Chain A
Amino acid sequence: MIYVCTITLLETDKVRTFTTLAVVTLVMPTDTAVVLAAGEGTRLRPLTRNRPKPMLPAGNRPILEYVLDALIEAGIGRLCLVVGYKRSRVQEHFGPTYRDVPIEYVVQSKQLGSGHALQQAEEKLDGSFVVVNGDRVIEPSIITDVLEASKTDDAATLAVLERPAANRYGAVVMRDSTIVELIEKPDDEYRLVNGGVYVFDQRIFAALSETTRRSGSLLLTDAVDLLIYEATVRGVRTEGLWADATYPWDLLTVSRALLERGLIDGDHPETDVWVSERAIINENATLQPPVVIGPDCELGPGAVVGPNVALGQNVTIGANTTVESSVIDTDTRIGAGSTLLDCVTGQDVKLGAGTVVPGGPADVQINESLFRDEHLGAVFADRVQSGGGVRCKPGALVGTNARIGTGVVVDGHIPERSEVVR
């Protein structure tokens, strides 16, 4: 017994159908990108106490969002994130997909270098793939340039940029379009730096397995060094925003660069004032461009915010408080009548009324090195709480969960969880 029925029934009255849209697929030979996001970034302590460096703010979004945006805009259709240090912060933020591109997470449980990080992703990869650092803001064009220049025969293709401070990054020596040498600690003569944006094929894994570890760490650049002797490593001269935060004050520079170039997520680019529609700005508050105000923020009467200020989510700025050239991260609350210049806060910082951070050049000690005349008012790490009337000398670094009593003058480093009463 067969019940025959035609489909016409559903094509007649009261039936809604959708027209099938033609889908044009661009053929991208390299579809996958590996993003190295497992590192802490020790030179950014104490801001990295609760999250890895890629999750620190660039403007008012995590650096890593800019990295993933650039990859997706360059046509990448599959993301593989190597996570480790405080990985839950990355996983929670991005979930299983970002902008409809699927994300796979690979765990590097011990941070044993960039090469070791890439090895963890080996079984997820075939053919060629892109590798980028998750802690540097880059423009899509840098990735596109590398993808377009990459040839099937190349074992590796890498972005090369001209930068004055090559000694901070590692330089390259090029002959025509071929990399002939990587210089780890270049002197001032070098101008071309390794951009940390690569296209590799499977040969990188053979190189990695032959690379000697240095005090336990396996570095990607050492493996590339080996490849130079065995195959073609192509260099691609490219330019564009390539902003790296190595030290806390760099976060101010990176945010300023993004604000100046208008690379902020949101509307109103013509006025350089980006305000989330979920923020509540008192009618008597003033926004000075460029400035970005995140969702759920509240600004009290008489608050003056900007120029060059980025407020994350749910930030509260009290009445008559002035904030200038600062990055204020999510859930931070600044009491009424405060003045903050050149200030970086972590998340959930609570500053009492009348806090004064006058800003200006400072000598700052990071690990063993002393940096002179850096523009840094103060750094308040996650969950610092201060009473009213606290004043900070330029370059103050306050550790996570520190408690600062009313009227204290802060100078230099305050360790995490310490209590300062005078």
Chain B
Amino acid sequence: MCGIIGCAGRGDETLDTLMHGLSKLEYRGYDSAGVALSNEDLSVRRKAGTLDALRSSLSGQTLLDGDDSAVEGDGLHDNPVGIGHTRWSTHGPPTDTNAHPHRDCTDRIAVIHNGIIENYQELRDELAADGHEFHSDTDTEVVPHLIETALETGMAPEEAVRSAISRLEGAYAICAVIAGVDRVFAARNDSPLVLGISEEAYFLASDVPAFREFTDQVVYLDDGEFAVINKNGWRVTDTDGNVVEKSINTIEWDPEETGKSGYDHYMLKEIHEQPRALRQCLQGRVDEFGGEVILDELSDLDPEAVQFVACGTSYHAALYGAQLFRSIGIPAQAFIASEYATSVPPIENDLVIGVTQSGETADTLSALREARHRGAKTLAVTNVVGSTAARECDEALYIRAGPEIGVAATKTFASQLITLSLLTLHLNGSEDDREVIAGLRDLPSNVQAILDDTNAREIAEEYHDSDAYFFIGRGLHHPVALEGALKFKEISYEHAEGFPAGELKHGPLALVTENTPVFAVVTGDGEQARKTIGNVKEVEARDAPVIAVTDGVSDVERYADHVLEIPESTPRTAALLANVQLQLVSYHAAALLGRPIDKPRNLAKSVTVE
């Protein structure tokens, strides 16, 4: 799990461009980082720790001529090309020597890599037997040595890089530079890589925000493709070296959607962006007076049954989606993507829906591939246009939440729920749609009402030093309870668990004490609400503080110590609204505990390894 960037044509701003790009890619990993500049000479600087550690090791230097420099030289101001990397460890701990870029024995080749090279041990043994010296524990380091070997046989640089890449098995997005060569070489297989085109410079990166400040023109590379950029142009070729005609896409969102703009954390900013994100999601897709939901991007789908595959927060959205499908009479189940392949359910005319914010989640991609292999039709529900999931699936449905930087998913979860809601309405036009659509159209303002009036901070102040935190809910509120707990543990590092309300008495109740607050989601006053209130009474009897997340329709307030109020709405939107209150409680608790909210330890934004 890493972020990579390469650029050509940025002149003496090359280093700044790389550092800026890396700051935009930090969400992909941040346990070490490094950069390399190359023209006649090659120079490398890398550092364990956050990007700030690298930045301060570079401060005051215009050239990379410090201790870690491979070749002392003063030619680097003369229009170098550069590559940069931000890492999240897979092979080897986060140390300076394991940080990318990695070099060959001659210190003239530098390589960065995102993914896992599965046959690296074999390659390393072979290279070591030939006398190559390795300095890191990484799989990546074999690549510069392979290039070195190829160059020694007299190959031209591009041919040499190509030949090295051909030896690799596994997942990779790779960029390489060679001293004396004015180009950045790149290859992609199963890891994201996009090419950016501006008027005077060219970019390669794991994700668009890395260079969005400089251009909105991008080319999405496909697996097996090879790209070259220099200050004058770009070219994409296939495995055999034939030029591939690629279409240039225009990115519509702005860099303004990144940057904290006055908020203390991206997470809080993104929580506050939910009304806007939901408007974008609904835009042009609902017609209330016509009672219609229109999803233009989908062809005619008529699934007999649905299987969801997803991980983490997206899995909670999948649980919600599966319930909505069952409610319209379509059998549906949600699977944790990494478990799916171990015991694949029978597939006959099933639609398999992968829910993945980034569209690059390795576990979800592999489950979708397994399903497709067995003949299922696949649909990606994702936030990222042109992502691997979107391109590999038969169909793609976009949640349109805009870029999310905070590692803890907030607005994208809300947008996933609403997108799945739209999907079921689209497949099942029925009489009561008008009322349901009105509920969806009221959603942005209902979320705004919570943001304006929430007392989540007071709740967090009261309980942030408790022993553990439990979240319960029933029906559509079950995924909300799970998500509430996941959010809480991710950013506060406190123990938090979510349960279906009825499961409490089958075990977890043993954990409930006067020092374990229980968050109960109860809306409406139907059967489910009454039953959950029964569970609330169970925990109340054990002296646990109860915080009810409620629309005030039932009398749950009588049994609760505190209330987090949400506006009255429809059952499918109430779940989303309750979740906003729980996001805010998690945020404030983590802030009070002094946690690094946007970059929780050991976690990365999108997990591109299995």
Residues of chain A touching chain B, judged by Cβ–Cβ distance below 8 Å, are 1-5, 7, 10-11, 13-21, 50, 83, 87-88, 90-92, 94-98, 103, 105, 107, 278, 280, 282, 295-296, 298, 300-301, 313-314, 316, 330-331, 333, 347-348, 382-383
**Residue from the list B234, B261, B263 in contact with A10, Cβ < 8 A:** B234
B284 close to A278 (CB less than 8 A):
yes
**Residue from the list B106, B108, B151, B256 in contact with A95, Cβ < 8 A:** B256
Contacts of B229 in A (CB 8 A): 10
A10 close to B444 (CB less than 8 A):
no
Q: How far is the CB of A409 from chain B (nearest CB, A)?
A: 25
Contacts of A11 in B (CB 8 A): 232-233
Contacts of A4 in B (CB 8 A): 180
Contacts of B257 in A (CB 8 A): 95
Interchain Cβ contacts under 8 Å between A and B, 18 examples? A1-B106, A3-B151, A5-B181, A5-B182, A7-B182, A11-B232, A18-B198, A87-B262, A88-B263, A96-B260, A96-B261, A97-B259, A280-B289, A296-B282, A296-B283, A316-B438, A331-B444, A383-B449
**Residue from the list B157, B182, B254, B444 in contact with A97, Cβ < 8 A:** B254
Q: Could you mark each residue 268-294 of chain B with 1 if its beta carbon is under 8 Å from any beta carbon of chain A, else 0?
A: 010011001001001110011110000
A97 close to B232 (CB less than 8 A):
no
Contacts of B283 in A (CB 8 A): 278, 295-296
From B256, B269, B279, residue with most partner A Cβ within 10 Å: B256
Q: How far is the CB of A180 from chain B (nearest CB, A)?
A: 40
Contacts of A20 in B (CB 8 A): 199-200
Contacts of A83 in B (CB 8 A): 262
**Residue from the list A7, A298, A347 in contact with B287, Cβ < 8 A:** A298
**Residue from the list A1, A14, A21, A97 in contact with B255, Cβ < 8 A:** A97
Contacts A2-B40, A96-B259; is A7 near B279 (CB within 8 Å)? no
Q: How far is the CB of B258 from chain A (nearest CB, A)?
A: 7
Contacts of A87 in B (CB 8 A): 262
Q: How far is the CA of A30 from the CA of B269 in the complex (A)?
A: 31
Contacts of B282 in A (CB 8 A): 296
Chain B: interface residue total (CB-CB under 8 A): 57
A96 close to B258 (CB less than 8 A):
yes
Contacts A7-B230, A278-B284; is A300 near B289 (CB within 8 Å)? yes
B288 close to A94 (CB less than 8 A):
no
**Residue from the list A14, A91, A103 in contact with B235, Cβ < 8 A:** A14
Contacts of A314 in B (CB 8 A): 279, 441, 444-445
Residues B235-261 near A (CB distance < 8 A) = 235, 243, 254-261
From B179, B231, B232, B259, residue with most partner A Cβ within 10 Å: B232
Contacts of A347 in B (CB 8 A): 445, 448
Contacts of B199 in A (CB 8 A): 18-21
Contacts A3-B179, A5-B183; is A91 near B279 (CB within 8 Å)? no
**6 A-B pairs closest in CB distance:** A96-B259, A105-B262, A331-B445, A348-B445, A91-B262, A15-B233
Contacts A96-B256, A280-B287; is A15 near B234 (CB within 8 Å)? yes
Contacts A95-B256, A298-B289, A348-B448; is A107 near B262 (CB within 8 Å)? yes
Contacts A17-B233, A21-B199; is A97 near B256 (CB within 8 Å)? yes
Contacts A10-B230, A19-B199; is A316 near B441 (CB within 8 Å)? yes
Q: How far is the CA of A92 from the CA of B402 in the complex (A)?
A: 13
Q: How far is the CA of A98 from the CA of B197 in the complex (A)?
A: 24
Contacts of A15 in B (CB 8 A): 232-235
Contacts of A300 in B (CB 8 A): 289
Contacts of B108 in A (CB 8 A): 1, 3
Contacts A105-B261, A296-B283, A331-B444; is A2 near B180 (CB within 8 Å)? yes
A17 close to B261 (CB less than 8 A):
no
From B269, B287, B452, residue with most partner A Cβ within 10 Å: B452
Q: How far is the CA of A331 from the CA of B441 in the complex (A)?
A: 8
Contacts of A280 in B (CB 8 A): 287-290
Contacts of A3 in B (CB 8 A): 108, 151, 157, 178-181
Q: How far is the CB of A86 from chain B (nearest CB, A)?
A: 8
B444 close to A5 (CB less than 8 A):
no
Contacts of B198 in A (CB 8 A): 18
Residues B435-458 near A (CB distance < 8 A) = 438, 441-442, 444-446, 448-449, 451-452
The answer to the question of B228 belonging to the interface, with a C-beta cut-off of 8 Å to chain A, is yes
Contacts of A13 in B (CB 8 A): 243
Q: How far is the CA of A16 from the CA of B248 in the complex (A)?
A: 11
Q: How far is the CB of B440 from chain A (nearest CB, A)?
A: 11
Q: How far is the CB of A305 from chain B (nearest CB, A)?
A: 14
Q: How far is the CA of A314 from the CA of B437 in the complex (A)?
A: 13
Contacts of B197 in A (CB 8 A): 16, 18
Nearest to A96 among chain B residues (CB) is B259
B445 close to A95 (CB less than 8 A):
no
Q: How far is the CA of A304 from the CA of B166 in the complex (A)?
A: 68
Contacts of B231 in A (CB 8 A): 7
A17 close to B232 (CB less than 8 A):
yes
B181 close to A88 (CB less than 8 A):
no
Q: How far is the CB of A276 from chain B (nearest CB, A)?
A: 10
Residues B202-232 near A (CB distance < 8 A) = 228-232
Q: How far is the CA of A78 from the CA of B445 in the complex (A)?
A: 31
Nearest to B254 among chain A residues (CB) is A97
Nearest to A50 among chain B residues (CB) is B452
Q: Could you mark each residue 500-511 of chain B with 1 if its beta carbon is under 8 Å from any beta carbon of chain A, else 0?
A: 000000000000
Contacts of A313 in B (CB 8 A): 279
Q: How far is the CA of A94 from the CA of B262 in the complex (A)?
A: 10
Contacts of B235 in A (CB 8 A): 10, 14-15
A94 close to B289 (CB less than 8 A):
no
Q: How far is the CA of A16 from the CA of B279 in the complex (A)?
A: 38
B183 close to A92 (CB less than 8 A):
no
Contacts of A107 in B (CB 8 A): 262
Contacts of B442 in A (CB 8 A): 331, 333, 348
* Known A2-B180, A278-B283, A296-B441; 18 more pairs at CB < 8 Å: A3-B180, A3-B181, A5-B157, A7-B182, A13-B243, A15-B234, A15-B235, A17-B232, A17-B233, A18-B198, A88-B451, A92-B269, A94-B261, A95-B256, A96-B260, A105-B261, A298-B441, A348-B449
Q: How far is the CB of A357 from chain B (nearest CB, A)?
A: 21
Contacts of B183 in A (CB 8 A): 5, 10
Q: How far is the CB of A282 from chain B (nearest CB, A)?
A: 6
Q: How far is the CA of A4 from the CA of B183 in the complex (A)?
A: 11
Q: How far is the CB of A338 from chain B (nearest CB, A)?
A: 16
B263 close to A91 (CB less than 8 A):
yes
Contacts of B441 in A (CB 8 A): 296, 298, 314, 316
Q: Could you mark each residue 10-26 of chain B with 1 if its beta carbon is under 8 Å from any beta carbon of chain A, else 0?
A: 00000000000000000
Q: How far is the CB of A159 from chain B (nearest CB, A)?
A: 28
Q: How far is the CA of A205 from the CA of B178 in the complex (A)?
A: 54
Nearest to B290 among chain A residues (CB) is A280
Contacts of B228 in A (CB 8 A): 10
Q: How far is the CA of A10 from the CA of B8 in the complex (A)?
A: 12
Q: How far is the CB of A348 from chain B (nearest CB, A)?
A: 4
Q: How far is the CB of B244 from chain A (nearest CB, A)?
A: 9
Contacts A97-B256, A295-B283; is A282 near B262 (CB within 8 Å)? no
Q: How far is the CA of A155 from the CA of B40 in the complex (A)?
A: 53
A298 close to B276 (CB less than 8 A):
no
**Residue from the list B243, B276, B446, B449 in contact with A92, Cβ < 8 A:** B276
A14 close to B243 (CB less than 8 A):
yes
Q: How far is the CA of A1 from the CA of B157 in the complex (A)?
A: 13
Contacts of B106 in A (CB 8 A): 1
**Residue from the list A10, A50, A296, A298 in contact with B279, Cβ < 8 A:** A296
Contacts of B276 in A (CB 8 A): 92
Q: How far is the CA of A375 from the CA of B284 in the complex (A)?
A: 36
Nearest to B158 among chain A residues (CB) is A9
A316 close to B261 (CB less than 8 A):
no
Q: How far is the CA of A98 from the CA of B259 in the complex (A)?
A: 13
**Residue from the list B233, B261, B263 in contact with A16, Cβ < 8 A:** B233
Contacts of A17 in B (CB 8 A): 232-233
Nearest to B248 among chain A residues (CB) is A16
Q: How far is the CA of A383 from the CA of B231 in the complex (A)?
A: 56
